[in-house]
Structure 1
Amino acid sequence: MTGFTSDDIPDCSGKTALVTGANTGLGYAISEALARKGAEVILACRDEEKGEAARARIAETAPEANTRYLQLDLADLDSIKAAAAKAKKEKRLDLLINNAGIMVPPLRLEMGVESQFAINHLGHFALTGLLLNKLTKSAGKKGHARIVNQASIAHKGARIDFDNLDGSKGYLRQKFYGQSKLANLLFTFELDRRLRAAQSNVSAYACHPGIAGTELMRNLGPFAFMGKVVGAVLNNPDEGALPALMAATSPDAEPGGYYGPYGLVEISGRSAGRAIATATARDPLLAARLWDKSIELTGIDPGLAPDAAPYLGDISSES
Structure 2
Amino acid sequence: MASFTFADVPPMTGRTVVITGANSGIGRVTASALAQRGARVVLAVRNQDKGLAAAATMAGHTEVRSLDLADLSSVREFAHTFTEPIDLLINNAGLSLPPLERTAEGFELQFGTNHLGHFALTNLLLPQVRERVVTVGSLAHLIGSIDFTDLNWQRRRYRAYPAYGQSKLANLLFVHELHRRLTAAGSSVISTAAHPGIATTNLMNADGRGLRFRAEKALISRVSHTAEAGALPTLYAATADVPGNAYVGPDRLLGLRGAPAPARRTAKARDTDTARRLWDASEQLTDTTFPLPSASTERTPAHDTHHH
Partner of residue 82 from structure 1, selected from 47, 65, 77: 77
User: Could you say which residue in structure 2 is the equivalent of 1:242?
Assistant: 232
- Residue 224 of structure 1 deviates from its aligned partner by 8.4
Structure 2: how far apart are the matches of 1:47 and 1:274?
33
Query: Does 1:115 find its partner at 2:109?
Result: yes
249 and 228 in structure 1: CA distance in 2 versus 1, 3 angstrom threshold: farther
User: Could you say which residue in structure 2 is the equivalent of 1:178?
Assistant: 165
Amino acid at match of 2:282: S
User: Could you say which residue in structure 1 is the equivalent of 2:96?
Assistant: 103
- Residue 42 of structure 1 deviates from its aligned partner by 0.1
Matches within 5 A, 1:188-267: 188-222=175-209, 230=220, 233-251=223-241, 253-267=242-256
DSSP 3-state at the match of 2:95? coil
DSSP 3-state at the match of 2:134? strand
> Structure 1 regions of 5+ residues with no counterpart?
140-144, 309-319
CA contact (8 A) 1:12 1:37 kept: yes
CA contact (8 A) 2:246 2:262 kept: yes
DSSP 3-state at the match of 2:248? strand
User: Could you say which residue in structure 2 is the equivalent of 1:317?
Assistant: none
Matches within 5 A, 1:159-174: 159-168=145-154, 169-174=156-161
Q: Deviations over 1:55-80 (max 9, x none)?
A: 1111xxx2xx0000010000001100
Structure 2: how far apart are the matches of 1:306 and 1:278?
28
User: Could you say which residue in structure 2 is the equivalent of 1:300?
Assistant: 288
DSSP 3-state at the match of 1:124? helix
Query: Does 1:154 find its partner at 2:140?
Result: yes
CA contact (8 A) 1:19 1:41 kept: yes
- Residue 228 of structure 1 deviates from its aligned partner by 9.5
In the superposition, the TM-score normalised over structure 1's length comes to: 0.86
229 and 236 in structure 1: CA distance in 2 versus 1, 3 angstrom threshold: farther
- Residue 39 of structure 1 deviates from its aligned partner by 0.5
Structure 1: how far apart are the matches of 2:184 and 2:134?
19
- Residue 165 of structure 1 deviates from its aligned partner by 2.0
Query: Pairwise CA RMSD of aligned residues?
Result: 2.0
Amino acid at match of 1:216: L
CA contact (8 A) 1:213 1:229 kept: no
User: Could you say which residue in structure 2 is the equivalent of 1:13?
Assistant: 13
- Residue 3 of structure 1 deviates from its aligned partner by 2.9
CA contact (8 A) 2:186 2:294 kept: no
User: Could you say which residue in structure 1 is the equivalent of 2:127?
Assistant: 133
Structure 1: how far apart are the matches of 2:215 and 2:71?
30
User: Could you say which residue in structure 1 is the equivalent of 2:86?
Assistant: 93
Aligned residues, how many? 291
User: Could you say which residue in structure 1 is the equivalent of 2:273?
Assistant: 285
Structure 1: how far apart are the matches of 2:291 and 2:144?
28
DSSP 3-state at the match of 1:109? coil
CA contact (8 A) 1:217 1:224 kept: no
Structure 1: how far apart are the matches of 2:214 and 2:281?
34
CA contact (8 A) 2:174 2:279 kept: yes
Q: Deviations over 1:242-291 (max 9, x none)?
A: 1110011012x21110000122211001x201001110000000000000
Bigger mean CA offset, 222-231 vs 168-177: 222-231
Identity rate, percent: 46
In the superposition, the TM-score normalised over structure 2's length comes to: 0.89
Structure 1: how far apart are the matches of 2:71 and 2:265?
29
> Structure 2 regions of 5+ residues with no counterpart?
297-308
